[in-house]
């Protein structure tokens, strides 16, 4: 499918299909997601030592986790879109077999949750430090999400409400057909995919910088939960294609974002305070041990001086006794 898109005054023609091999169509969406995963993996392979991780063991965890994360992203999407009436009635529909659209319909939160759960299990199996693995994976997620969101642009999805501006925003035949946009009077809509891509890119820069001097294992993971949760909460609030919880209108992604931000924030403050307390105790212990060594040296030096003085006193006493026992020269002359 080809889309005629206008974004910030720039007109583009975008085809969802990158190329076709035989009867198989390869979509830009899948390519872009793959590029995001590849960049995240390259980052992990390069900086694994910074996180105290063995590259080979880390790669074992990643190889198993990536496909599981994709399946969880699909499952998450299907569970919550079912509440809006788009039911998945068979395994063939779940995998998009015979639909012509392929394996489409993914939710990033499903991928994140699935990746961390599967990753934790694989870390236990391969004897990898879980929190260190979570830290490097969190930075990888920001890379993957920053790149992957452009797949939504190609598919013309993950957009928001009408901006009310004559320049700021995006429009296409997809947005113009959207009932929510039409009922709002039409016009340019918020390019939410772009907002989230930029937010994740900034998050990558910040988290990568902080990772150079981590205070404790799990720090980057918790900061990622806070950073992405905070940004996604507000971006999700203006999206028109929200996944909802139950039969109500509560956006599930906003709920998950709020929980992630609050829980990660509380845990971060607790662990940061604990780490600072531990770091403050180390100089005190070093100072205390140094003082003890100085006192021990002083005692040894005092004992040495006392021993020398005692030896000198003994020697003087011997000399005096020798003088008393020896007759003087005057006595001998008499």
CA distance 51 to 44: 9
149 pLDDT higher than 60? yes
Tell me the average pLDDT across 249-261. 93
Dihedral sign of CA atoms 44, 46, 52, 56 in order: positive
Instruction: For residue 116, give the nearest of 237, 218, 242 by alpha carbon.
Output: 218
Residues 290-309 as b/e (b if ≥16 CB within 10 A, e otherwise) read: eeeeeeeeeeeeeeeeeeee
261 pLDDT higher than 80? yes
Of 315 and 15, the structure prediction assigns the larger pLDDT to 15
Band of pLDDT at residue 83, cut at 50, 70 and 90? very low
Cα radius of gyration (the chain): 35
CA distance 68 to 137: 15
Of 298 and 227, the structure prediction assigns the larger pLDDT to 227
In the chain, where are the structural domains located?
A: 2-282, 288-330
Tell me the average pLDDT across 106-114. 93
pTM above 0.95, yes or no: no
CB atoms inside a 10 Å sphere around CB 72: 23
pLDDT tens column, 164-192: 999 999 999 999 999 888 888 889 999 99
pLDDT at 105: 78
Of 198 and 76, the structure prediction assigns the larger pLDDT to 198
pLDDT at 278: 79
Tell me the average pLDDT across 101-114. 82
φ and ψ of 300, to 5 deg:
-65, -40
Tokens of 133: 């693995």
333 pLDDT higher than 80? no
Q: Which range has the worst mean pLDDT, 36-40, 265-269, 291-295?
A: 291-295
Mean pLDDT of the chain: 85
Tokens of 184: 């709002």
121-130 long-range CB contacts below 8 Å, 24 or more apart?
A: 122/60, 122/61, 122/64, 122/65, 123/61, 126/57, 126/60, 126/61, 127/57, 128/53, 128/54, 128/57, 128/58, 128/61, 129/52, 129/53, 129/217
pLDDT tens column, 294-323: 655 655 565 555 556 666 666 666 556 655
> Do the beta carbons of residue 267 and residue 235 sit within 8 Å?
no
CA distance 117 to 285: 39
Dihedral sign of CA atoms 162, 233, 112, 56 in order: positive
């Amino acid at each position: 499918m080809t889309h005629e898109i206008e974004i910030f005054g720039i007109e583009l023609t975008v085809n969802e299909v990158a190329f076709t091999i035989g009867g198989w169509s390869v979509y830009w969406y899948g390519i872009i997601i793959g590029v995001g995963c590849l960049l995240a993996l390259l980052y992990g392979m390069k900086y694994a030592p910074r996180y105290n991780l063995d590259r080979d063991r880390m790669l074992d965890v990643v190889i198993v986790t990536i496909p599981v994360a994709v399946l969880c992203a699909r499952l998450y999407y299907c569970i919550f879109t079912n509440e809006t009436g788009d039911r998945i009635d068979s395994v063939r529909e779940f995998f998009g077999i015979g639909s012509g659209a392929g394996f489409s319909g993914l939710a990033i939160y499903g991928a994140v949750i699935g990746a961390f759960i599967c990753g934790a299990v694989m870390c236990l199996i391969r004897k990898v430090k879980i929190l260190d693995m979570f830290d490097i994976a969190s930075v990888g997620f920001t890379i993957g999400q920053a790149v992957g969101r452009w797949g939504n642009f190609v598919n013309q999805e993950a957009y928001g409400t009408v901006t009310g501006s004559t320049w700021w925003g995006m429009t296409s035949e997809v947005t113009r057909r959207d009932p929510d946009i039409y009922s709002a009077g039409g016009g340019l809509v918020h390019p939410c995919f772009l907002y989230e891509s930029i937010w994740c890119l900034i998050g990558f820069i910040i988290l990568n910088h902080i990772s150079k001097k981590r205070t404790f294992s799990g720090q980057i993971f918790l900061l990622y939960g806070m950073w992405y949760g905070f940004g996604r909460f507000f971006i999700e609030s203006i999206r028109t294609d929200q996944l909802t919880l139950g039969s109500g209108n509560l956006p599930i992604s906003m709920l998950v974002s709020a929980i992630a931000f609050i829980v990660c924030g509380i845990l971060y403050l607790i662990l940061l305070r604990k780490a600072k307390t531990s770091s403050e105790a180390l100089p005190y212990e070093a100072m205390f041990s140094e003082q003890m060594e100085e006192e021990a040296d002083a005692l040894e030096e005092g004992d040495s001086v006392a021993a020398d003085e005692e030896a000198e006193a003994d020697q003087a006493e011997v000399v005096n006794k020798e003088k008393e026992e020896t007759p003087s020269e005057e006595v001998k002359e008499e």
